[in-house]
Structure 1
Amino acid sequence: MEKLNSIIFYNIDKAIRSYRNFAQRQLKAHGFTITIDQWLIIKAILENPGITQNEIGDLVFKDNASVTRIIDLMVKSEYVIRKVHSEDRRKTNLEVTESGKKIIKDVQKIVEGNRKTALKNITKEELEIMNSALLKISENCINTKK
Structure 2
Amino acid sequence: MINNNTYFQIELTARRIRQYGQNILKSQGIDITIEQWLVLNVINENESTNQIDIGEKLVKDKPTISRMVNHLEKKGFITKTPSSTDSRKVELNISKKGKAMINNLYPTIETIRFKGLNELSEKEKESIENILKKIQKNLDS
TM-score (norm 2): 0.95
1:54 is displaced (CA, Å) by: 1.1
Which ranges of structure 2 fall in alignment gaps of 5 or more residues? none
Tell me the equivalent position of 2:92.
94
Residue 25 (structure 1) aligned with residue 23 (structure 2): yes
What is the percent sequence identity of the aligned residues? Answer: 29
What count of residue pairs does the alignment treat as equivalent?
141
Runs of 4+ with deviation above 4 angstroms: none
Q: Deviations over 1:64-123 (max 9, x none)?
A: 011111111111100011001123322111110010011111111111111232112111
Which residue pairs with 1:14 in the alignment? 12
Aligned counterpart in structure 2 of residue 115 of structure 1, from 113, 116, 120 = 113
- State the 1:48 CA deviation: 1.8
- Looking at structure 2, the residues matched to 116 and 90 of structure 1 have their Cα atoms a distance apart, in angstroms, of 39
- Name 1:106's counterpart in structure 2: 104
Moved more, 98-107 or 49-58: 49-58
Q: AA paired with 2:135?
A: I
1:4 aligns with 2:13: no
Which residue is equivalent to 1:141?
Answer: 139
Map of 1:73 onto structure 2 = 71
Decide which structure has the larger Cα Rg and report it. Answer: 1
Quote the residue 1:60 is aligned against: 58
TM-score (norm 1): 0.92
Q: Hey, what's the Cα distance between the residues in 2 that align with 1:5 and 1:90? A: 45
* Structure 1 gaps, min length 5: none
